[in-house]
Chains A and B, each alone.
Chain A
Amino acid sequence: MKTSMSCNVTHVRHIAAFLAEYASLLAGCGATCIRTEKNTRRLADAFGVGFDLSIMPAHVYVSVWDEDPSDSRIAVRKITNHGISFNINAKLSRLSWEVADNHIDFATTVDRFTAICKTKPTCKWEVLILTSLANASFCRLFGGDVISMLIVFISTLAGYRLKQVMLEDKRDVRLTFLCASFFSAALSAGGHIFDIGATPEIAVSTSVLYLIPGVPYINAVSDMIDRHYLCAFSRFFDAAILTVCLSAGLCAGLLILGLKWF
């Protein structure tokens, strides 16, 4: 009887630890609070345990119990600083449904989760080229001519590569945004200084748009609608600070080059 109870307690503890890891990775790869909560609860229901989750800006707290909520096991994990990955987000969501619908056992679930953790990010060269093309398209959408598109393509290519190198070197993300924005703005200002093309100001203004942290802004509103005000506030300020950094880089680039409209 005693052995069976201790077995059960260990099992509940393992489930709590796993659910905390799951929620931490899901929140870290850019999922909203409502998705993190729903997916994790789905897993807990499938494992047949009672469950509660608290999502804070930097940590997740998971409480799991077998029958008596007063005898719960608590696991706390720091939210994984993984970077936005919709691929992992989709895979983790799918895993939760597979467990719920196909009644996959706990050990297999953990194995699948470990495999998802090893998901490789999109090839960095592919991202570099596609992002540069995307920013050049931005330039066109804002009324830029073909020359301005080419300038934006080159300045984004250089700025984004700098961002990749600095993040690989584990530099501070705010400093990275500032440097990449400065670099892109300075390169794109070439169009204005050497009088190339008919829309040099559009080239300058669109050259830093690839740095705008869109996912945190959108997630902040989603969290706000779902009344996760702390997370919404935290995400919004994280994004706002990055926006200030990229604006500062842009201003520094323009001021140092002394563009004539100032």
Chain B
Amino acid sequence: MCNDILINFFEDGLFAAIAAIGFSSISNTPHHAYLTCAIIAAAGHSLRYALTLPELGSFHIIPASTVASFAIGLLAVLLSSRIKCPAEVCFFPALLPMIPGMYAYRTIEALLSCLYNTQEEVFGHYFYLLTYNGLTCAFIILGMVIGATIPVFLFKKISFTVTR
């Protein structure tokens, strides 16, 4: 069981790293920053995975995402001076693999199901799914963005002198 957790932990980190490199390329990130983005993404995503495990705290996905994003922001501020790039360059591609895509998708699915079902009980069920998934998705994104941005403002002096 411990082995399974470890394998999932590293698998999570590996795929988050690949995703971060891909999204770095979309934003025209300098090539020498790819590896740092990948490391930060792997660390952040694996941390979120660990926090949501029943054996390691069983956090709800919203606080887990916020804590992991804060770690991503912190790592980005600390490592950005190594590659002489602003912290945003590192934390944006690292944050993207944590986007709650399934919640967003289920929100749209529930919205369409609401429109297709006029019976009160069925409509009520899909409306519940719509609000539950929509609110979870919105709060995960809000927690992620605030969590990652706070270190930039906490360590303003480091954040704005890394390209010096």
Binding site for B on A (CB under 8 A): 30-32, 34-35, 38, 83-90, 93-94, 96-97, 101, 121-122, 126-127, 130-135, 137-138, 140-143, 201-202, 204-206, 209-210, 212, 214-215, 217-219, 221-222, 225-226, 247, 250-251, 254-255, 261-262
Contacts and interface: CB of A to CB of B under 8 A. Distances in A.
Contacts of A205: 101-102, 104-106
Interface size class of B (residues with CB under 8 A): 35 or more
B19 A89 contact: no
B118 interface: no
Contacts of A262: 109, 112-113, 116
Contacts, number: 155
Given A134-B22, A141-B12, A214-B95, A94 B29 contact: no
20 contacts: A89-B86, A89-B89, A96-B163, A130-B25, A133-B18, A134-B19, A134-B23, A138-B97, A141-B15, A141-B45, A143-B102, A209-B99, A210-B26, A214-B92, A214-B99, A218-B92, A218-B149, A222-B152, A247-B108, A254-B112
B29 to A, nearest CB: 5
Interface string B26-42: 11111001000000000
Contacts of B96: 212, 214
B71 interface: no
A110 to B, nearest CB: 19
Chain B interface mostly helix, strand, loop or mixed?
helix
A215 B92 contact: yes
B68 to A, nearest CB: 13
Per CB-CB distance, the 3 closest pairs between chain A and chain B, nearest first, are: A134-B22, A205-B105, A93-B163
Interface of B: 11-12, 15-16, 18-30, 33, 45, 84-86, 88-89, 91-92, 95-97, 99, 101-102, 104-106, 108-109, 112-113, 116, 141-142, 145-146, 148-150, 152-153, 160-161, 163-164
Contacts of B21: 130, 133-134
B93 to A, nearest CB: 9
Given A126-B25, A134-B18, A225-B149, A255 B112 contact: yes
B22 A142 contact: no
A94 B97 contact: no
